[in-house]
Amino acid sequence: MTKVCVIGLGRTGMEIARVIMEQRDMRLVAAICSDFSKKAGKDIGEILGLPDTGAKIYTSSQLNYVLEKIKPDVFVDFSNYKATMSHVASISEKKAALVIGTTGFSKTDILRMKVLAKKNGSGILNAPNITVGVNVMMLLSNIASRILSDYDFEISEAHHKHKKDSPSGTALKIADQIEEGLQASGVKINESIPIHAVRAGGIIGRHEVMIAGENDKIEIVHESFNRKAFADGALKGIRFIKGKKGFFGMQDVLDLERVLASYFDKRKIPVASSSS
């Protein structure tokens, strides 16, 4: 039984907490909110509209208590990048595993996470693109850019008006996959793939890749209808990271390197190692 603690109880964090409670191989043992949240001290069941679960909500300043007394196997973080960077070291030092679904990290932040995972022998899964469907979209974009290397590629993404980072971490990863595919086909990259970002209303998440040639056009689109898509990805991440050491991405969870290599090996098309 995997003991899980959810960090961040916004709409997505609450949905993840709800779904974890439905799993037979997991137990939600705690949740962590900000120091100023009115949810602090309550039972998780209370905020989900469910019977009491026995699992309490703690504040960020009580993280060490949760680590030492409750001892979760895996933390799932859907707070914000500043909060994540304030507690990642403490979690890593206790060798608890961490699934990160937040976005907005700098390259320095990512490097720090990698160093912590290696130094402490802990497992960190950085998954700003945690939905399974969007990872398939990345794979398709990579394949398309290798085959249609003379086409033009553009990315459009839309999220709710409260999302602070723009463009999204997922859009940037899609661009990386397209550029990797183009380079593998011998195309020299002079400019970044254009990304158009929209922040409006309550849009959960939509990403589109337009691939335009002189005579035709292909569009690859992924759209999340509800936050359960994020929860489903989080479950895969929890099951993957428990007991592992190192720094990983969703491509590792879904074994996309093997899928990509297998596809192109059969067709004798050049393949480059995926950037994480």
The reply to whether 56 falls in a domain is yes
The yes-or-no answer on residue 159 being catalytic is: yes
Q: Give the C-alpha separation, 98 to 23, whole Å.
A: 18
Which range of residues forms the domain containing residue 152?
132-223+257-267
Q: Are residues 100 and 215 in the same domain?
A: no
Give the pLDDT of residue 263. 67
Sign of CA dihedral 62, 63, 67, 68: negative
Q: Are residues 124 and 10 in the same domain?
A: yes
Residue 269, pLDDT above cutoff 90 = no
Across residues 165-189, what is the average pLDDT? 91
The reply to whether 252 falls in a domain is no
Q: What are the Cα distances from residue 164, in Å, to 20, 30, 161, 187, 245?
A: 27, 27, 8, 33, 31
Q: Are residues 168 and 189 in the same domain?
A: yes
Across residues 125-138, what is the average pLDDT? 90
65-69, 73-77, 208-212, 254-258: least confidently modelled range: 254-258
The yes-or-no answer on residue 244 being catalytic is: no
Q: Which pair of structure tokens corresponds to residue 122?
A: 């802990």
- Sequence-distant (≥ 6) Cβ neighbours of residue 29 within 8 angstroms: 3, 4, 5, 55, 70, 72
The reply to whether 238 falls in a domain is yes
Residue 49, pLDDT above cutoff 80 = yes
The CATH number of residue 191's host domain is: 3.30.360.10
Catalytic residue among 159, 173, 207, 236: 159
Question: pTM for this structure?
Answer: 0.83
Give the pLDDT of residue 251. 85
Across residues 134-162, what is the average pLDDT? 94
Give the pLDDT of residue 276. 41
52-87 pLDDT, tens digit per residue, is: 999 999 999 999 999 999 999 999 999 999 999 999
Q: Assess whether the previous peptide bond of 51 is cis (omega < 30° from 0).
A: no
Q: Are residues 56 and 11 in the same domain?
A: yes
The reply to whether 275 falls in a domain is no
6-36 pLDDT, tens digit per residue, is: 999 998 999 999 999 999 999 999 999 999 9
Tell me the CA end-to-end span of the chain in Å, nearest whole number: 30
56-65, 148-157, 262-271: least confidently modelled range: 262-271
Residue 128, pLDDT above cutoff 90 = no
The reply to whether 251 falls in a domain is no
* Number of independent structural domains in the chain: 2
Catalytic residue among 118, 163, 228, 244: 163
90-124 pLDDT, tens digit per residue, is: 999 999 999 999 888 889 999 999 999 999 999 99
Give the pLDDT of residue 275. 44
Q: Are residues 93 and 140 in the same domain?
A: no
The reply to whether 65 falls in a domain is yes
Residue of 275 and 239 predicted with greater confidence: 239
Residue 274, pLDDT above cutoff 50 = no
Q: Are residues 49 and 163 in the same domain?
A: no
Q: Are residues 107 and 151 in the same domain?
A: no
Give the pLDDT of residue 129. 80
The reply to whether 30 falls in a domain is yes
Q: Are residues 96 and 137 in the same domain?
A: no
Give the pLDDT of residue 273. 47
